[in-house]
Structure 1
Amino acid sequence: MNSIQMNPADARSPGVGEIPAVLLPTADQRYARRAARLRQLADGHPMADYLRFVARIAEVQQQLLEQLPLPSEAIAGLPARLGQGQAPLAWAQLARDAYWQRLLQHLITALHSDVNAGIAATLERLAELDPQALEVKAGALLAGQYDQVDSGQALFLWAALTLYFSQLATHLPGSGQALVGEHRQHCPVCNSAPVASVIQTGALAGLRYLHCGLCESRWHMVRLKCSNCEATGQLDYWSPEHQQSPLKAESCNDCEGYLKVFYPEHDRELEVLADDLASLALDAEVERLGFARTGVSPFLFPG
């Protein structure tokens, strides 16, 4: 059981020095910032075309967030999901609202004219699927059964699903409570895997939070401990650049897994999902050394 539980929001003020267990996503310009960062990173990058393509997806996500927001009926049931001893938006127990499929259809329509013939064909096949078939594919994707979903389709399915789950998390009227123990490998909000760690700046400077690849919540986990198996003392850090690099890969010799760590203090323009995608060369190098990524890459599914 996750050692962070989501309960109804506590009206009391945080104590002095109290560390927030969970940082829920905010309804801001997240996707617009992601798109801008991807376009910035694309300049001179070997994957420039793909980075710009994903930037276009992020732009459409921002448009949908503004023009087709989460309906009120999907928000109404959120309070009852808190304080139950499990992730309130756990994907395996949550009956997904048909809204996420509407997001997918709008995403397909908006992107269709911007893509090449191969991607257009992928979008057309997705558009032809009935609601039940889409739910089956979504369930397999969320469960990590990537061999059950075409990798090209997975990109667009996830883009709609994460827009749905992140809005649910934004409207969740709760807060995280840290319990005894350090079982924090999965998101306490939706029970998904992290995409990376982030060393916070500002009021939370120096604290590590894991960033969810689905609902985009962040949850606290102490540093110098493997985010997968929680072992200490067997960690190594790999960097493509100098000591002050804004990203490193934290590998564990106990479980032979790794997860990237981002340091915004060294690059104020850093955006976790954008910089994760743009740093796949680091993934390739660490995997060449025998380590396996323990988190999900939302823009590059296997298959």
Structure 2
Amino acid sequence: MTSSATVRIMSPEEIAARGGGETPTLRFPERATLFAERAMRLRQLASGHALGDYLRFMADLAHEQHHALQAMPAMALPDAVTIDRAAREGVPPLPLADWPRDPAWRATLRRIATELAQRAPPGARDTLNALAQADDVFLERQADLLLHGLSTGLDLGTAPVVGAALQVHWTHLLLATQAGHQGQGSPFGRIDDETICPCCGGRPTASITRTAGESLGQRYLHCSVCNLEWHMVRGKCPHCLSSKSLSFLALDVADGAAGEEGSGASRATSAKVQAETCDECGHYLKIVHTDRDPFVDPVADDLASLTLDLLVSDTGKQRHGVNFMLLFGEPEPPEPDPQAGGG
């Protein structure tokens, strides 16, 4: 059984009062560890989990992402003029909708699908082999649908693998662009719309609190595509930026020993994964806490807490976060009847 509790966190003013020093605006992923650590976290979460088999399969997928990211070839990157123009216009320099995708992303996808197929169950193996042999037109169409957040026409069975290849591609673009501008100032910074990623314009998967030095529990949004994290003060809705009616929901394990951890509300208050809900816009985004579990990962822990999504959706709230490892689509609209007369 599960239950929920509304919990309180520090306001932006309280955080500022308690946390000395300057909070970094951006946190960049580590090429050598990002996907490897995500794979380990997924395996850890899979133990005894109702979705254990799926979490282990996603761990295999993250493992292949790790190897693919180490082998990415050189590709076109934004030059100084492009970066300067993006900064002046307050937009991401590597926008998902407009930046030309290098064909290398398709090679990454085919390699990931081929490797996964070798140890996947029979049904999934056939799907992965078909994906590895799919033509360029199909792959580019699926990528467009994913990056534009469209479900009509999206192949939900292969979407996690397509999304994984796009994540590798944009994470490489992010890190290669950052590395290419060492000593020239960061090519990435704040943009006009703080609800989207300042590198690629992607929506967050979840947010994560991090403590660094004297900065206590600072909240960062984690990009669903390039894995960049950008700072947003707590006490502000990551969807509509309102601070009027936020609350936090968490799952409380109800079958623990009585008195072991205090009341259910106190256990929910200290949960490592919570849903931040906003009554102003009717959306929510999960938040994971490194001070409560140093191994939390925004993508892995979001996926493993699907029950929390079901609980929050029952309250009428809509999910703001995007997780390519588990996507939901709308049914295809019926084809128009050619025999039907026009009105």
Using structure 1 for the length normalisation, give the TM-score.
0.88
Maintained 8 Å contact 1:20/1:176: no
Q: Say which of 14, 26, 29 aligns to 1:25.
A: 29
Does 2:99 align with 1:73? no
Counterpart Cα distance in 2 of 1:178 and 1:150: 34
Unmatched runs of 5 consecutive residues or more in structure 2 = 1-19, 179-185, 253-266, 330-343
Alpha-carbon distance in structure 2 between the residues aligned to 1:34 and 1:18: 28
| Per-residue deviation, 1:23 | 2.0
Q: Deviations over 1:90-141 (max 9, x none)?
A: 0111000011001011111101121122212222332232212211110111
Return the match for 1:118 from 96, 115, 123: 123
Superposed CA RMSD in Å reads 1.7
Q: 2:44 aligns with which of 35, 40, 43?
A: 40
After superposition, where does 1:65-144 map in structure 2 within 5 Å? 65-66=69-70, 68-69=71-72, 71-75=73-77, 77-84=78-85, 85=89, 86-144=91-149
1:274 equivalent to 2:274? Answer no
Unaligned stretches of 5+ residues in structure 1: 1-15
Name the amino acid aligned to 1:56: D
Letter of the structure 2 residue corresponding to residue 73 of structure 1: M
CA–CA distance in structure 2, aligned partners of residues 207 and 79 of structure 1: 31
Corresponding residue to 2:242 among 215, 231, 253: 231
- 1: CA distance, partners of 2:126 / 2:233: 45
Q: 2:209: which partner in 1?
A: 199
Residue 143 (structure 1) shift: 0.2
Q: CA deviation at 1:273?
A: 1.0
Deviations, residues 235-286 of structure 1 (Å, cap 9, x unaligned): 1100113121111100000111000011100001211211111111111100
Could you report, residue by residue, the CA deviation over 1:143-200 in whole angstroms, capped at 9, with x for unpaired residues?
Answer: 0112221111111100100011011111223254447x7x311111100100011111
Identity %: 36
1:216-240 deviation digits (Å, cap 9, x = unpaired):
0011111101100111121110011
Matched residue type, 2:216: A
- Shift in Å, 1:73: 3.2
* Partners of 1:22 and 1:175 within 8 A in 2: no
Q: Distance in 2 between matches of 1:18 and 1:271?
A: 24
Shift of 1:78: 4.9
Asked if 1 retains the 8 angstrom alpha-carbon contact of 2:208 and 2:221, the reply is yes
| Aligned-partner SS, 2:132 | helix
**Which residue type is aligned with residue 188 of structure 1?**
P
Determine helix, strand or coil for the equivalent of 1:207.
strand
Supply the distance in 2 between the matched residues of 1:177 and 1:42 (Cα, whole angstroms).
Answer: 36
TM score, norm. by length of structure 2:
0.78
Whether the 8 Å contact between 2:208 and 2:220 is mirrored in structure 1 is yes
- In 1, distance between residues paired with 2:63 and 2:188? 30
The aligned counterpart of 1:3 is none
- Contact conserved, 1:25 with 1:169, CA < 8 A, in 2? no
1:167 aligns with 2:172: yes
Cα distance in structure 2, aligned partners of 1:258 and 1:238: 10
Q: Which amino acid aligns with 1:47?
A: L
Partner in structure 2 of residue 216 of structure 1: 227
Distance 1:276 1:78, change over 3 A: farther
Residues 21, 176 of structure 1: 8 Å contact kept: no
AA partner of residue 229 (structure 1): C
Does the CA-based 8 Å contact 2:189-2:198 persist in structure 1? no
Q: 1:269 to 1:263 in 2, by over 3 A?
A: same
What is the CA–CA distance in structure 2 between the aligned matches of 1:148 and 1:205, rounded to whole Å?
44
* 2:114–2:129 CA contact under 8 A, matched in 1: no
Kept in 2, the 8 Å contact 1:79–1:172? The answer is no
Once residues 172 and 129 of structure 1 are traced to their aligned partners in structure 2, the CA distance between those partners, rounded to angstroms, is 30
Question: Number of matched residues?
Answer: 283
| Larger of the two Rg values belongs to structure | 2
Using the TM superposition, give the Cα deviation of residue 206 of structure 1 relative to its aligned residue in structure 2, in angstroms: 2.0
